[in-house]
Amino acid sequence: MTPGRPKILIYGARGRLGAAMVRTYAAHGDVRALGRAESDLSDPASCANRVRAEAPAIVINSAALTNVDLCETERDLARTVNADAAGALARACTEVGARLIQISTDYVFSGQAQEPYAEDAAPEPISWYGQTKLEGEQQVMAADGQHAVVRVAWVFGPDRDSFVDKAVQTSLRGEPVKAVADKWSSPSYTLDIAGALRALFAPSAPGGIYHVCNRGVCTWRDWAEEGITVAAVLGAPVQTRTVEPLRLADITAMIAKRPVYSPMSCARIEALIGRPMRSWQEAVADYLRLLDEEGRLRAD
């Protein structure tokens, strides 16, 4: 890797996480932001050729086909985008001496655990989305052990509305807020993810599997209630304070199975950065304060 300001290619730069990384890393390197228009993962060879042409020090692939239900019906496309493109990028990175940081997901797990998943826990996906993301991980690590796979979950942040944004906006409109109360994971704030991943830019940082999410476990209902509570403390005119619990089994619009329990332990990244990831409640509070400063805590 080159000293000084490394060249960093970010695939999926228009997404929630990708956009946060583009902003965060602009001060630390020569960032090339690639959205679908510039480099479409449905054409893995073209994406790999871009890596060869640019010869960067770091490539971050945060692009994916993330619509879990669509993956069930568009299986070939899902495998191309989520697995084969990741593998093509990894092999191209190895050729030019770059490190690939491949963003993956808690959906590689079955959700049958009794405690947060460690990085070395055995994956067992129960959806085609999870299966193709796991295949992407496997292709990346087969290409070079110095590449890194970073699993995240329930991503939220300022660049695109997420579940917590929608819950707060629904409350501001005075409409009923409903959320699943029997599915657990660990929310991941994009600014915290981007900050932690900078440690992987160092050539001495070990490759392999990392989990990067905020500490703690919650349900979608807990997450919604926390967001509404923080918004109220900040003076936002929330009207609906109670979040009605739903059962995951009753969400009939969902085609694919979802892991019921998929919080993740972040021991490896915490050891690398020398501090614990902060709690999901702290991250939600910071995010809502940001929205408040931008005048976005009002009804649409």
Contacts of 236 (CB under 8 A, 6+ apart): 168, 172, 292, 297, 298
The count of other CB atoms within 10 Å of the CB of residue 231 is 24
What letters, b where the CB count within 10 A reaches 16 and e where it falls short, cover 29-45? Answer: bbbbbbbeeebbbeebe
Structure tokens at 188: 């991941």
φ, ψ (nearest 5 deg) of residue 218 = -155, 165
3-class DSSP assignment, residue 123: coil
Round to whole Å and give the CA distance between 111 and 263: 9
CB 176 within 8 A of CB 244: yes
Write the single-letter amino acid at 127. S
In whole angstroms, what is the distance from residue 300 CA to residue 298 CA?
6
Question: Which of 11, 25, 117, 129 does the annotation list as catalytic?
Answer: 129
Q: Based on the residue annotation, tell me whether 210 is a catalytic residue of this protein.
A: no
Backbone angles phi, psi at 158, to 5 degrees: -75, -10
Active site members: 129
